[in-house]
Amino acid sequence: MDTRTPAAPRLTSLSHGGGCGCKIAPGVLDAILRSQPLFTPPAELLVGTETADDAAVYRLNDAQALIATTDFFMPIVDDPEHFGAIAATNAISDVYAMGGRPIMALAIVGMPLAKLPLETIGAVLRGGQQACARAGIPVAGGHSIDSVEPIYGLAVLGLAHPARIRRNRDARAGDVLILGKPLGVGVLSAALKKDALDADGYLRMVATTTQLNTPGPLLAELDGVHAMTDVTGFGLLGHALEMCRGAGLGARIDVAAVPLLPGVRELAAGGMVTGASGRNWASYGDQVDADGIDALTRTLLTDPQTSGGLLVSCAPQVCGAVLDILRAEGFAQAAVIGAFADGSPRVQLR
């Protein structure tokens, strides 16, 4: 009788999607949320669901506001520790994007116990704990279920001064738009699933998705930084449009200035793209002026990012300080990619 333990299956083979590409398409999500009953929020709720911001914010007192967020998804990679670290980093990012500092996390765990060894599940949690340790916070509890597909993420709490909360809706006409991380995570994940991603590409993917967006609270200290969000499942265009709609402004994005991870354009040209990119464009493409922009570039701008970079709207006079902070924190490819202007809430590509 063969008593060997069967090999654990590839994590990505157990899920129908991975990372932030699992998100419900923005148009579908909007239709669902419109059907929900209205509730008059208390005055202490500084940020709720009104502009699809990164986290909820509740004012505790004159000096403290509590930031609360949750994020979880199915595997984007097969290495369990990497999966845990990526999911945790992605969840913590929402606190940084609001200008806050995380204080603790709760784990959200759903695993197919009949398919995965306990060692694999333990490695997922260990990767998440390691990411939290890098952020200086404990995993203080959580909840777990036996599920059909592997799911992992965190609920994260953070603190900030109420005056330093940075919403996604407060961009101003004339602000420049700065992106903290290069795009291309969705393309790399598609290549990984098709066994077309080399070792260097995989290391780049893990490095960018486990890089904590620590500049968030530092940027919030600058009076000229007016709005922030992070780029995740809806792609760069989707999250830029959220900023436009919240502020009632138009935006211009200079496509040649948008940083990409090495090799991403070539992989996308070879068909390594996610279905989420097409769903994103179908949801909001009518709000984008893309005359003269080729289909490949459009795909990259809608590419779902897992644990993507900060998207910062700031006055031109603090642009240099914003870039200095980002680069000092290790975001070497941070770049000015466009600007906001008076007009209807649309994005113009040029």
**DSSP-derived 3-state class of residue 203:** helix
Instruction: Please report where in the chains the tokens 């077309």 appear, as a residue.
Output: 196
Please tell me the distance from the alpha carbon of residue 61 to that of residue 233, in angstroms, as a whole number.
33
- Torsion (CA) 9, 138, 182, 187 in degrees, nearest 10: 20
Taking the domain 166-349, which CATH number applies? 3.90.650.10
Query: What pairs with residue 107 in β-bridges?
Result: 142, 154
- Using only C-alpha atoms, what is the Rg of the chain? 20
Mean pLDDT over 306-316 rounds to: 97
- Which fold is adopted by the domain 11-163? 60s Ribosomal Protein L30; Chain: A; (3.30.1330)
Residues with Cβ within 8 Å of 227's Cβ and at least 6 positions away in sequence, in order, are: 166, 167, 168, 169, 170, 171, 175, 243, 246, 247, 312, 313
- Tens digits of per-residue pLDDT, 26-76? 566 666 566 666 677 899 999 998 888 889 999 999 999 999 999 999 999
For residue 31, the model assigns a pLDDT of 65
User: Cβ(313)–Cβ(175) under 8 Å?
Assistant: yes
For residue 19, the model assigns a pLDDT of 56
For residue 9, the model assigns a pLDDT of 84
Query: What pairs with residue 65 in β-bridges?
Result: 59, 160
Residues with Cβ within 8 Å of 270's Cβ and at least 6 positions away in sequence, in order, are: 196
| The pLDDT of residue 328 is above 90 | yes
- Tens digits of per-residue pLDDT, 97-154? 999 999 999 999 999 999 999 999 999 999 999 999 999 999 999 999 999 999 999 9
Q: Is the pTM of this model over 0.85?
A: yes
For residue 4, the model assigns a pLDDT of 33
Q: What is the rounded average pLDDT for all residues in the chain?
A: 93
For residue 223, the model assigns a pLDDT of 96
Which residues form the catalytic set? 20
| The pLDDT of residue 231 is above 80 | yes
User: Cβ(162)–Cβ(59) under 8 Å?
Assistant: yes
Percent of the chain with pLDDT over 90: 86
- Indicate the pairing of strand 347-349 with strand 249-253: parallel
User: Cβ(63)–Cβ(74) under 8 Å?
Assistant: no
| The pLDDT of residue 1 is above 50 | no
| The pLDDT of residue 170 is above 80 | yes
| Confidence class for position 7, pLDDT limits 50, 70, 90 | low
For residue 2, the model assigns a pLDDT of 31
| The pLDDT of residue 298 is above 50 | yes
Domain residue ranges of the chain, discontinuous segments joined by +: 11-163, 166-349
Mean pLDDT over 241-261 rounds to: 97
Mean pLDDT over 157-185 rounds to: 98
* Cα 44 → chain centroid: 26
**DSSP-derived 3-state class of residue 58:** strand
For residue 8, the model assigns a pLDDT of 75
For residue 6, the model assigns a pLDDT of 45
For residue 5, the model assigns a pLDDT of 42
| The pLDDT of residue 235 is above 80 | yes
Mean pLDDT over 66-93 rounds to: 96
| The pLDDT of residue 262 is above 50 | yes
| The pLDDT of residue 209 is above 60 | yes
Among 111, 105, 100, 47, residue whose Cα is nearest residue 71? 105
